């Protein structure tokens, strides 16, 4: 039975079942709910089509187990929950609410997260961290928070807005960590990323219970192994839990 908070409408790009391809939970089976639309423009963005509005939400069953289906946007959260429950099965670990940027549709994101929590499905919430106030509302329903940190060199927003973006991201990580949510802070490493940038970031994360993931860019600007070791060492001087993890779903050839 679908329970409360699920009548909001929103724009989704896709719902599918796959493996988590990033961070410490890599390889965990998840049902992904991907919202359409994003408020940033990162130089390394590998999913530009999800930054735009989407006409349809595609529902993709696991390979070879069923046809692709489409629903016109906007869709309701209760419809999305039915699809999530249809894809949920043995071995499922959690529901990944991702984007685009889910917090561009805050009421819809809250309806999805609370709907999953009401069904007893753990929520893995991915955000670019650009709105700490919107994120804070969702914390009671989140089990895992994966918050991106955009470095100045990522050119995610105009230069005069970067400090505000960065402070919001730190505030999201701080809020999730203090609330006891398993918190993952992720930053993409480019060949141009400097140890000074990473040190400045790590000073702000000191004392927080979280894992810092340094994720090498996979396309343009991909860093070499020496850069990864240098930046991991710089971060490890200040933080206890720092890992370098590439995007594994691309290696597996899954969504």
Cα 37 to Cα 32: distance, rounded to the nearest angstrom:
16
Tell me which residues in 138-197 interact with ligand SF4 (CB under 6 A): 156
User: Minimum CB separation from ligand SF4 for residue 38, in Å?
Assistant: 3
47 binds ligand SF4 (CB under 6 A): yes
User: Minimum CB separation from ligand SF4 for residue 47, in Å?
Assistant: 6
Binding segment for ligand SF4 among 21-29, 38-46, 87-95, 131-139 (CB under 6 A)? 38-46
What token pair was written down for 210?
A: 């979280």
12 binds ligand SF4 (CB under 6 A): no
Answer for which of 5, 34, 51, 93 binds ligand SF4 (CB under 6 A) is: 51
User: Minimum CB separation from ligand SF4 for residue 41, in Å?
Assistant: 5
Residue 81 or 188 with smaller CB distance to ligand SF4: 188
User: Minimum CB separation from ligand SF4 for residue 66, in Å?
Assistant: 27
41 binds ligand SF4 (CB under 6 A): yes
Answer for which of 15, 40, 59, 217 binds ligand SF4 (CB under 6 A) is: 40
What token pair was written down for 192?
A: 């141009």
38 binds ligand SF4 (CB under 6 A): yes
45 binds ligand SF4 (CB under 6 A): yes
Tell me which residues in 188-247 interact with ligand SF4 (CB under 6 A): none
What token pair was written down for 36?
A: 């359409």
User: Minimum CB separation from ligand SF4 for residue 211, in Å?
Assistant: 19
Binding positions for ligand SF4, rule: CB under 6 A: 38, 40-42, 45, 47, 50-51, 99-101, 128, 156
């Amino acid at each position: 039975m679908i329970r409360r908070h699920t009548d909001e409408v929103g724009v989704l790009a896709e719902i599918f079942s796959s493996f988590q391809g990033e961070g410490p939970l890599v390889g965990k089976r998840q049902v992904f709910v991907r919202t359409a639309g994003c408020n940033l423009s990162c130089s390394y963005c590998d999913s530009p089509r999800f930054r735009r509005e989407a006409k349809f939400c595609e529902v993709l069953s696991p390979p070879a187990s069923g046809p692709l289906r489409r629903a016109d946007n906007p869709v309701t959260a209760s419809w999305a929950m039915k699809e999530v429950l249809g894809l949920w099965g043995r071995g499922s670990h959690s529901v990944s609410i991702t984007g685009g940027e889910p917090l561009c549709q805050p009421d819809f994101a809250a309806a999805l997260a609370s709907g999953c929590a009401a069904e007893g499905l753990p929520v893995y919430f991915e955000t670019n961290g650009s709105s700490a106030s919107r994120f804070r509302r969702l914390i009671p329903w989140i089990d895992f928070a994966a918050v991106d940190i955009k470095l100045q060199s990522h050119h995610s927003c105009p230069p005069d807005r970067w400090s505000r973006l960065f402070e919001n991201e730190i505030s999201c990580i701080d809020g999730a960590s203090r609330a006891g949510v398993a918190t993952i802070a992720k930053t993409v490493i480019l060949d141009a990323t400097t140890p000074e940038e990473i040190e400045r970031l790590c000073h702000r994360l000191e004392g927080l219970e979280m894992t810092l993931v340094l994720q090498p860019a996979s396309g343009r600007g991909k860093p070499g192994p020496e850069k990864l070791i240098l930046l991991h060492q710089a971060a490890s001087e200040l933080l206890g839990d720092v890992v370098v993890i590439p995007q594994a779903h691309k290696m597996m050839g899954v969504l």
